[in-house]
Structure 1
Amino acid sequence: ARALLERDARPGDAVALAPAWAERAREVIPPALPVLARTGRGEDLPGVRRVWLLSLPGAPGYDWQTELGLISRAARSTAAQRLGALEVTRHELASPTLPLAFLPDRLAQAEVSLGNAPCTAEGNAFSCAATPALSVERTVREVDGVPRPCLSATIDAPPGAPLALRFPGVPIGHALRGHAGAAGGGSRALGAPLRVAVQVDGEEVGAAEISGVGFAPFELSTGHLAGGLHDVTLVLTSAGAPGALCLDAETLP
């Protein structure tokens, strides 16, 4: 399987495992290939064009749901290739999500502030003067049982002022899509509702109210701004203490 993927995989490919507990495959999959935790129709797979499914059809817990989910999303799928106990199939997504920009990956170029006070850059994170301490970093956090690459922050007390993350020179297309949720093991709910407002060049273009369990999606239309580079600011406010947050956002063509 490793030799096959090293030979035939290309940029925009990812790997899915079935059953999900077959984690040993991660030891041999080429490092450049991301491993997807979920592949259902409602799951966002930014940047992924093709998914290689490595499966153990005779193993305990195998239920075909991952394969059926990929088939439902695919424009075409290859026949299963048998490699010992493994089967390998490749699914080309019919409607891949190809972002113009993924904002968590741009944190190093961002400006972060709490109220009118700028936060201090510390390596790949920002530290903000607050009680208790508040920091923002690009990391991977578990939300609703799935690892998510995101911007994470822990707000254990009402911040008292908006937390603003400004990203300069972001390419804009027809929409900005994002997700937010409570980080941590299992299914957790935010400790308090969170408002995520999106500003483009200083003007608010929309906002979303996030609460409850899961990685809640939001999407705002930006078609009237498409075709150029703009400053995009995410402004987070809450009347309570939402706790550990995981937030992402991407601009779509």
Structure 2
Amino acid sequence: MPSPRPPPRALPLLELGGLLLVALACLAFQLRLPGLFPSEQDYRAVAGWLSAEARPGDAVLLFPWWTERARLYLPSQTPVYGYLGSDADDLDAHPRVWVLGQPGLPRADEAGFQAAFLPGRTAVGAPRQAGPLALTPYTNGRHRPRRFVASEAHARARVYLESPDGTRTDCPFDGRAHRCPGASHLYVAPEWHELRYQPRHCLWMHPPGGPQRLVAEFDGVPAGTEWRLEGGLIFEFAAAHAPHLSITHLGVEEARSQAPALSIAIPPGLEGVQKVSRQVPPGEPRTLKLWVQADNPETRQVCLDLLALGPREGA
């Protein structure tokens, strides 16, 4: 019986050549990486430009959104945005946005960023370079002037628990928060919270449970503006959708007439910032009731705000 032939040697040589090419490619990538990352001097140069030229109301947007190290160096008076989905955020509180970009990073997807960010924005001058960092200011055509912001006016609000029959229980202001009788989480105060990756400075208003509502009442909300109610459930609580959980209701109504103005219903499992708005004709300033309610308040941690917005520039 003939002995078996030895296996051909061509295949191992091909495999060895392939492995060598992969190793060389990895080595080239690793050698290239240091040049893709900014130095401390690069960050300080950008911080100096912003300190000298950023105006009140400006903001910085990080591209890619996960280049968080920049926050350690940028001026504290200029808000910095960078989170999953921030490329498409209107950032409409800011008339000008500085994009701090690192387009040379792997998987930066500059084309995708531009598609989300550029509509309504116009660059003001050419990008300035500091190593791999590029800083470019843009006018923000999505800007909406704030005529009223509930989270900024919280100290002068009247806060109370309200029953369906109109009975009220006051929640006194202690200099930081309006605290209601009962559970420690029943208070109204501006706080930072996260709604589906997005940091929000908003009013903490946890529903008391049952048909009772937690209400914050504000005087002097201007007419002739767009009223916007926005809010949601914070952190991982929004994702919970067990059968025993209930819909969370957010609402705005006019105090004098009790006429509903805005409302949002958040069923269990609905994540992110929910928004609803309406244009209000000119007239006298109004007194508005901002309220929350949920039959079962378990894990219904609400963060919300009420704004009165002016028109976009040029609109």
Structure 2 gaps, min length 5: 1-45, 163-167, 311-315
State the AA in 2 paired with 1:162: R
Partner of 2:274: 216
- Pick the structure with more helix per residue: 2
- How far did 1:61 drift? 4.1
Partner of 2:178: 126
Partner of 1:199: 253
CA distance in 1: counterparts of 2:280 and 2:128, whole angstroms: 43
CA contact (8 A) 1:180 1:217 kept: yes
- 1:34-113 aligned within 5 A: 34-37=79-82, 38-41=85-88, 43-64=89-110, 65-113=112-160
- How far did 1:230 drift? 2.4
Q: Does 1:176 align with 2:227?
A: yes
* Sequence identity percentage: 26
CA deviation string 1:166-217 (max 9, x = no partner) = 1122223332112121111596358532222222342324232321221111
Structure 1 gaps, min length 5: none
Partner of 2:308: 251
Q: 2:192 aligns with which of 115, 128, 140?
A: 140
TM-score normalised by the chain length of structure 2:
0.72
Q: Secondary structure in 2 aligned to 1:219?
A: strand
Describe the shift of the 1:85–1:91 C-alpha distance in structure 2 as closer, same or farther (beyond 3 A).
Answer: same
Considering only CA atoms, is the larger Rg found in Structure 1 or Structure 2?
2
Q: Which has the higher contact order (CA 8 A, sep 6+)?
A: 1
CA contact (8 A) 2:229 2:262 kept: no
- How far did 1:4 drift? 0.7
TM-score normalised by the chain length of structure 1:
0.88
Q: Secondary structure in 2 aligned to 1:45?
A: coil
State the AA in 2 paired with 1:56: Q
Q: 1:9 aligns with which of 23, 41, 54?
A: 54
- How far did 1:246 drift? 0.9
CA deviation string 1:99-144 (max 9, x = no partner) = 2111111111111100100112133212112357412210110001
CA contact (8 A) 2:264 2:274 kept: no
CA distance in 2: counterparts of 1:215 and 1:173, whole angstroms: 25
Q: Secondary structure in 2 aligned to 1:235?
A: strand
- Pick the structure with more strand per residue: 1
- RMSD, matched Cα: 2.3
